[in-house]
Amino acid sequence: MSLLERTVPAELEDQVDSPEPVATRPAGRRAPILGKVPVVSVLSVLLGLALWEVIARLELVDPLVLPRLSETVRRLGNDLFREHLLRDLVATAVPFLVGTLLSVLLGSAIGAAMGASRWLDRVLGPWVLGLNAVPRIAFVSVFIVAFGLGMTSKVAVVTATAILPMVLTMRSGVRSLDREIMEMAASFRAPRGLILRRIVLPATTTYFVAGFRITVALALIGEVVAEFFSSSSGIGFRLQAASQTYDINEVYAMVLVLAVAGICSAQMVAFLERRVARWQGTTQS
């Protein structure tokens, strides 16, 4: 039986202060998947591609340095036709996705733990700073020896490359938690799980998304670098093989694929950010 399950005294009713009603949350309209792509961005890309074709056609630079865009696109179509492009895309996408997932899960857990415990922060801090300073390529050979040439070593390279932004942003996120709110939760003797769900996760969402954005970008680079060393398929492998035989058209074709993949994944992250921003906008002061 709670105290407040009694009627409010009538005298209070007119003493109750009421601010002007504030506009309610807009009806739950979803953020569009593709944000408005600015016209100048599209124009910029189209102009750049056109410039590429014109410069190559006029042979203003050596065709070995810059082949025609049309040639590159033809090669791309050829790759697609011979079906290995699709296989390469899958070969790249799978370790990239697994490594990204691993980075996000492990990284946010480690970062949150470091943010919550000063002791753990001191223990792990030097390792994080140390890892941050080393180009992750340094570990590729070690991972190949340890895990072989398959998926595992590539996932390991991707994770080593992409995990730190998650660690650092989630560490900051947990550190930024309002101590007064945490004390309030303690005063109700709230269990850990409830504090995590109702306070820590919602309060650190913006940090999470910021880390996620960088992690996704780094993971793609990590995957391509891993394929340079240890693969028989994948976009990075094709890029490496083509470079070694000076198959410049293939090099540019793969660069195009990577650029498009990068833009697409960034768009997906931006979509996520807009969802969060919307949600934050309606709920945070």
Nearest approach, Cβ of 265 to other proteins (angstroms)? 27
Tell me if 253 sits within 8 A of 72, measured CB to CB: yes
Residue keyed to tokens 């992250």: 269
Under 8 Å CB-to-CB from 147, ≥6 apart: which residues?
153, 156
| 86 or 181: CB nearest other proteins | 181
Site residues, other proteins (CB under 8 A)? 1-9, 11-13, 15-19, 22, 24-25, 180-181, 183-191, 194, 198-199, 202-203, 280, 282-285
| 31 or 203: CB nearest other proteins | 203
| 20 or 83: CB nearest other proteins | 20
Nearest approach, Cβ of 189 to other proteins (angstroms)? 6
Tell me if 104 sits within 8 A of 215, measured CB to CB: yes
Q: What is each CA distance from 10 to 13, 41, 182, in whole angstroms?
A: 5, 62, 35
The CA-based dihedral angle spanning residues 229, 232, 233, 234, taken in that order and rounded to the nearest 10 degrees: 0
Nearest approach, Cβ of 108 to other proteins (angstroms)? 18
Tell me if 151 sits within 8 A of 94, measured CB to CB: yes
| 7 or 244: CB nearest other proteins | 7
Nearest approach, Cβ of 190 to other proteins (angstroms)? 4
